[in-house]
Each structure stands twice: as C-alpha cells, then as structure tokens.
Structure 1
Amino acid sequence: MDNGIVKVTLSTPKGLLTGIQYNGIENLLAYNKESNRGLDGTSFRVIKEDENQIELSFTKTWNSSLSGSQIPLNIDKRFIMLHGQPGFYSYAILERLEGWPDLNLDQGRISFKLQQKLFDYMAISDERQRVMPTERDRVTGKVLDYREAVLLTNPANPKLKGEVDDKYQYSSNNKDNRVHGWICSDPATGFWVITPSDEFRVGGLLKQELTSHVGPNQLSEDYPHADRRGVVSGRLLIRDKYINKELKAASSAYVGLAAPGDAGSWQTENKDYQFWTQANADGYFLIKGVRAGNYNLYAWVPGILGDYKYDTYVDVTPGHEIKLGTRVYDPPRIGPTLWEIGIPDRTAAEFYVPDPKPTLTNRLYVNHKEKYRQYGLWKRYTDLYPDQDLVYTVGVSKYQTDWFFAHVTRNIGNKTYESTTWKILFDIQNVKRARTYTLRLALASANAAELQVRINNPHGVRPHFTTGLIGRDNAIARHGIHGFYWFYSVGVPGFRLRNGRNTIYLRQSRGSNPFRGIMYDYIRLEGPPNTN
C-alpha cells in the first residue's frame, strides 16, 4: 500500500507487516523472522480500492478438521490506507461460532519492533518520555527479581548506567492510553500508535496495559460508522445523608455502558464492548459512539465509596439518543463516620510511597507524580519495618506519611517471606454494645493474598472476617498503584468494642513470596445508624 507519503509492505496471504517506508527511511521496522509474528492469514483479498482509500483483508477460517492444531477462531486482519495521510489503520475481527471448542484468549495485540539504531527516544505522555536503552543494554545488564526488570550495568549510553529498565514501568490505564511512540532524531521522524476508542478493550477504563517499551477516517462496513451508533445521556446525583442532607452532584464520575451484570462487573467483563465517559462538575454525562446493543449503565465517583449500577437495561439503537434523565446513587452507608483512612478513589496513590534504593533508580520517575513506578518499592517495607509492623493511630497518624502504600510480606532472609499484621488504634467513648458498627474495606489491589480482620484480640484462632484467597493482578511487582477493585462491608457487634482504646488488626496471612499483598484504597468505621 503506497499513497506517496508512506509505503506499507505486507506478505500474502499471511498478512505479516514486513516494511514501513517513510521520510526517506527504507524501513522503520527491525528485521524479524516471519515465523515469529503471531496470527497468519491463509487467504487475501482487496475489500476496497479507489483514489481515496484501500483496504486489505487477510483471513484464516477454522473448521473441525483443524481441532487441536489451530486456535478455534475465524481471523480477519485488516489494513487501511487513506489518501494524503502519513500512516495507516489496522483492526482485526475475531469470530468464534456457537458449538466450537472453548478457548482462552489471554492477549490480543498488534505490536511493532522498530530499528533501534534509529529510534531511541520514547514518549508515553507529556510527563513520561525519555532516552531509552537498547536491547543489547538489557542483555548485558543484571536481571533482578524477574526477567523484565534489568539493572543497566554497561549501556551504550553511559548516562543510563545504574538505572533499572522494566517494561511495566511504562504501563498506562486504558483511559489514559491514547497515543504513545518513539522518535528518531536523524532524520526527524516519529512513530506513533494512536488509539481513538477504548470500546474493544476488556476490563474497563482502569485496567493497566503495556504501551511503548524496549482527521475523521472511513473504515469498512464491518465497522459501524457514527450514524449507525447511538448516544446515551443523563445526570448522576449522590444521596448520602451523612455527607450532605441534599442530593449532591456526582462530580467527575466515570460513567459507562457495558454488558449486563452486577455492579462493578465491568471489571471482569471480556467478551463485549464498553463505552465510558467522565461526567462534568454537575454530574451530567454524554456517552457517544455506542454500538447498538443491550447494556447496563455503571458508574463510580472519585471520593465516593462503591459502585453504581442502573438496574434498567439500556437498549441502544443506531442513530438515536437515549436520555436517562436524573439517576441517584446511594453509596454504601449505614451510620456516621467515626474515622477514615485514605481517599475512596480506587488507588493507593495518596498513601506513603518510599524512595527507591539509590542503586535501583529509574531517573524518569525521580520527583515524579508517578513515583510508585520505581522498581523494588515492595522491598522498602522490610527496610522501614524490619522487626515490628506498621501501627496507625487515628487522630495522630497521617495516611500520607504513615500508611505504607502496599501491605506486603517481610523478608526475613534466605529468600523467606513472612506474613505481616498492621494495627489501627482508635478511641471510642460510650460504645453502644447492643448495636452494630460497620467497617468498610475498599482494596485497590490484591495478589494471591488473604486479608484477615481481628478486633481487640490478635491471637483469636478464627478472624472476625477474612476475604479468603483473592487477587491475581500483580500490581505490586508491575509498578501499578491499583488493580482489581474489591469492596467489603464488615459488621462489628458493639460488644466487641471497648470504651477507650481499641485495636483493629489487619493481617495479610499469605507469605512465601515478595509479591503477595494488598493495596488499600480506603478504610472507614461507621457507628450505628442515627435514630433521627
């Protein structure tokens, strides 16, 4: 495909991208063996070709005779080039028909490997961009706790010596992943991956994905155009009498449409499309470009606990707007707040994030708002608490400086890791022994962990509450500040509390591994409901 600006070469019938010629550079891509390029097509056809556009299709069709030898999917890879545009478009249609074998599709992505001798500067956002090491720098470096993390010991660029390189340090939330790429200084050339829509991404707008590491367009009829999509609008208010007697606007709420399910189910939904937007300061939202279909409306509000779901199905039809009017969210609440730790924003970013060890630093994240992306921060817990675990005193301690961002295991030497127990100390006067108090626990992440809660008795054989074994998001090792959101409400009988000083023990009971742990989002203790 050649429009006079850029030339893209693909193999037939496999549909493998073998060359991109642009700006006087014969091929932007590094050489890669065709046997290592992912999904191959077995047939090729031209979908459209005129003076304005060309679209190519590379397909592979599955049937039962291929069972056990090929993935049971019909695959259609598309490549599009437009007149006058310095780039190209690509998308894929993956189809599994009813009755075909089950399959697990862990990942599906398009990736490009550029010539390292040309492209050495990477940009993910205005605040996250830098000169990068080479692949050979990584090969000659020292592998750290896992193979993706490498200490650069003898890089070609001496300024990078002593830094850590790890692809997970450059991940982004889906909602923030719009454009990323690499820059060549001579000749001045940028290679950018642009994502105009999140509708195909699974797990919702907060799922963390990899990015770069070591005008309107017209797509084919298989991609529904704007006039074949719908619009959903409305306003979301919050009703919490313990915060405000009047209804309050759900300012900056994240509002989305996803497959019908329970509140928060969009986090695990992975077979259908999702469409999200952010409400304005008055709670008004507008979701545009929605594929026709049946959805539930979901939302969560920064600063407000829990998940919202509109119970009525939203049936989107092509070319129409659905006006939902004013919806009201009643967040989890039984009684008044006695104390709270953190901010209910689904992240652990407000808590104490330590500096990395000087020998394990990535300079990009020095004095950076995403400081948590430094390597090895989980190890700092043992440095700060070598013998005794974290103790937080309500009314004295500050969560910004006294609450470690991740509840991890302690390294006691010889690659042995033990469980840890954090304490929350608080005072209550005039305990209502016949009433029930409520402990709210919102977790921003969990990985192969179990959170046990004990009240005023750390040695009880059975905890007052346990989450059981939860979590597989590995945000601790992969430099995230959140993963899958978990929420629990724990009833606390008044007779378990004392007048005066009380202690809640939070034990992460699963040891044996440095990456087993929890990130808290927010903790709140509520008193019994007011009778008035």
Structure 2
Amino acid sequence: MEKGFGPVFVYLNSAPSSKNSIRILWNDAKKQMLKEVKNWPYNFTQSEDFPSSHQRGSVLGQLLIHDRYINESFFPASSAYVGLAAPGEVGSWQRENKGYQFWNQADEEGRFIIKNVRPGNYSFYAWVPGIVGDYKYEIDITITPGSNIKLDNLTYEPPRNGPTLWEIGIPDRTAAEFYVPDPYPTLLNNLYTQNHTENFRQYGLWARYGERHPHNDLVYNVAINNYHDDWFYAQVTRNTGNETYVGTTWQILFELHNVTNPGNYTLQLALASANNAELQVRINNKSDEQPHFSSKLIGGDNAIARHGIHGLYWLFSVEIPSSLLKEGINTVYLTQARGGETFQGVMYDYIRLEAPSSHTDSQVVI
C-alpha cells in the first residue's frame, strides 16, 4: 500500500526588530497558514498519488442525538467532530494509521460537510463534545472522483441505561477540567506561561499527586466536592520510597435515599488516557479479592509523561446490581492496580452513575 505525504510548504517571513517582532512574525505566519488551508488541496502537483481537487469527493449531512434523559426530542450534535477513515469498528479511527482520514467539525445545528476526500472506501465516524461515546454510520461510504454524497439525517444514541444520579467531569475526552497543579518552579517552561492558562503543558505535574495526598489516596464526595478543585487530573502510582511505585485507590462517596430493587445501576467510566494501567471497580467493599469490574491491562499512549491532557479514549459501561448498594452512604472504589513505574496510570474524562431505567426520581444536580 502506498501513502503520500506532502506537498510541504515552507514560509519565511521577516519583521523590523522590536520588542513585538516575535508576535508580529507569529501572527503573520498564522495568516499565511489560513490562506494555505483554503488553497488545499493543491492542483500543481504532478504525482498520481496526490489527486487534485476535481478528482476528489465530498460528504455532507446532519447529525442528531437522541438521549431521552437529556431531552425527549432529538437535538443537534452541536460542534460534533465528524470524519471519514478506514472501515472498522466503532472508535477504530483512533488506532488506524495506514489509511487516510478526513475530518471536519459540524456547526451548532449538527450540519457538516467533509470536502476534498480521496477516492476510496470509508466508514463515517463522529464524536460529540458533551456526549459520551462514539458514533459510526452503519453503511460504509465509497468516494469516487467528483462525487457529492448527501447522507440522510443521522441519529446517534449514546450509551445510556437510566437517569443520571451524579456525574464527575465533562465528557469532552480530556482531563483539562480537573485539578491540574502548579508546575515546579525549577521545571517551569516559560514558553507556556505567556498567554496560556493551561498548567498541564508542564513537566513533572504527576509527582504532585503524592504531595497533595501524602498519606491517603483521593476521596471525593459528590455532594460536597468540586471536580475542578478536588479531582486530581491523573490517577498515577505512588512512590513509597526507594523508587518503588504502587497502584492507588480513589474513592467516590455518594448517598442514596432509596435503592431500586431489583435492577441494575450503571457506572459510565470514560477515560481520556491510559498507560500500562488496569482500572478496577469495587462497590462498598475495598477488601473484595475480586473486583466487580476490571479493564484488564490497557493503554500505551504515555500522555502523562508527555505532559498532555488526553490520549486515546476509552469507555466502559459497568453494570452494578442493586444488591451491592444500600440506602445511605455508598462508596465506589477505583483502583489503578498496576505498579512498578512512574507513568502507569489513567486520566479520567467523565464518570456518571445512572439509576435503573425504571427509576422515577428526577436527575440529581450536584
């Protein structure tokens, strides 16, 4: 299989020497970049492996969402990320790197157009900021030269088994909304301190978990705590001395005034990153030898070490029988069980507990 890279555009600019010269150069380069984006794909190339614009096709349509616990009616997938990639399973585009991918972002009404797509066979994928899970259109799409394919209104029904009892975070595939500590002064990268508000672009942040929780791991009460301030951005290992790193167990405390019985509750666990990790879930008994759920060994994106805020996305829907819950205070134990290295861990994207579908209580707003 052949795959082309390029053409490559190099832009050299200049500006009078002054205290603002770097900013002037940078802004000018960004303007030029936007011009080149509009001009792509270039038609001057002579390679058979680089189709010109008239040899490509496009796909357009509208994506809607149906989640009756958010809205009884269908509503638009506002700002959805939509793309064409090699045919595969739901979410497989994340790990696919041999074929070509073409992506765009939908407008506020969920309408989209993906232009200048190379001829070939593709699956249509999407994900929506604020909505858990991945969407895939059930029919593969064949692009031919000059084709303009209009899809019917597409409907995404995200994973959902019942009404929300509580939630932690924002389903946006990053851990940026959680507590990110200040960087170490000795490791500070000043490149990211000017006109930037994101602490996560700094080295060594993971080590501050042990400083913030020196003796006991994180405990989060959904009725009291705020995830912006109290949920550490990454569940990392703990250094117990002599460079010995062990897994950690976080707790989520929540109160149930009544338990729907019989019935299954659902814990939606969305991860923004995982690296050589194993996430285990226990309910109300930290000492259970066998966890109620285990992800097994997952991840290898190393976003923690690279001071990023997300890697590959993972979603686990964990059913919890009502027999494991009780009226009053309950505890979910989240154990990252793998140890031995500094960078083993996970970043959470979003956590939600759903009541059984027969549950009649209204959504709890924390």
- The 4+ residue runs of structure 1 with deviation greater than 6 A are 73-81
Whether the aligned pair in 2 keeps the contact of 1:305 and 1:332 (CA below 8 Å) is yes
Unaligned runs of 5+ in 1: 1-72, 88-120, 128-178, 181-189, 200-214
The residue that corresponds to 2:115 in the other structure is 288
Instruction: For residues 331-390 of structure 1, give each alpha carbon's deviation from its aligned partner in whole angstroms, at most 9, with x where no partner exists.
Output: 001100000000000000000000012221112223723320111000000111111000
Structure 1 195/450 Cα, relative in aligned 2: closer, same or farther at 3 Å? farther
Q: Which has the larger radius of gyration?
A: 1
Q: Which residue of 2 aligns with 1:389?
A: 217
d(CA) in 2 for partners of 1:401 and 1:387?
A: 19
Quickly say closer, same or farther: Cα 1:75–1:378, change in 2 above 3 A: closer
Change (3 A) 1:79 1:417: closer
Evaluate the alpha carbon distance shift between residue 466 and residue 531 of structure 1 in structure 2; reply closer, same or farther with a 3 A threshold: closer
In 1, are the aligned partners of 2:278 and 2:296 still within 8 Å (CA)? yes
Residue 199 of structure 2: aligned partner: 371
Q: 1:79 offset after TM fit, Å? A: 7.5
TM-score, with length taken from structure 1: 0.61
Q: Is the 8 A contact 1:475 1:483 kept in 2?
A: yes
User: Structure 1 residues 122 and 360, CA, compared in 2 at 3 Å: closer, same or farther?
Assistant: farther
State the secondary structure of the residue aligned to 1:453: strand
Aligned equivalent of 2:364: none
- Rounded to whole Å, the distance in 1 between the matches of 2:325 and 2:11 is 68
1:233–1:325 contact (8 Å) kept in structure 2 = no
Which of the two has greater strand per residue? Answer: 1
Deviation (angstroms), 1:217: 5.0
Partner of 1:507: 335
- Matches of 1:226 and 1:352 in 2, distance apart? 45
Pairs within 5 Å for 1:70-469:
196=37, 218-222=44-48, 223-366=50-193, 368-469=196-297
Instruction: Provide the residue aligned with 1:67 in structure 2.
Output: none
Residue type at the aligned position of 2:356: P
CA distance in 2, matches of 1:515, 1:249: 39
Partner SS state of residue 329, structure 2: strand
Name the count of aligned residue pairs: 345
One-letter code aligned to 1:282: E
Deviations 1:375-409 (A, max 9, x none): 10000001111110000001210000000000001
Question: Kindly, what percent of the aligned residue pairs are identical?
Answer: 57
Q: Answer 1 or 2: higher relative contact order, Cα 8 Å, separation at least 6.
A: 2
The change in CA–CA distance for 1:321 and 1:421 in structure 2 (over 3 A counts) is same
CA distance in 2, matches of 1:252, 1:483: 20
TM norm structure 2: 0.88
Asked if the contact 2:260–2:359 (Cα under 8 Å) also holds between the matched residues in 1, the reply is: no
Change (3 A) 1:509 1:195: farther
Measure, in 1, the Cα distance between the counterparts of 2:157 and 2:73. 12
1:531 Cα deviation (Å)?
7.2
**Superimposed CA distance per residue, residues 382-441 of structure 1 (whole angstroms, 9 cap, x where no aligned partner):** 111111000000121000000000000111221111211000000011102311000000
Q: Of 301, 306, 319, which aligns to 1:478?
A: 306
Amino acid at match of 1:325: D
Q: Which residue of 2 aligns with 1:489?
A: 317
User: Is the 2:43–2:53 Cα contact (8 Å) retained in structure 1?
Assistant: no
Unaligned runs of 5+ in 2: 13-20, 361-366
Q: Which residue of 2 aligns with 1:5?
A: none
Aligned-pair RMSD on alpha carbons?
2.8
What residue in structure 2 maps to residue 205 of structure 1?
Answer: none
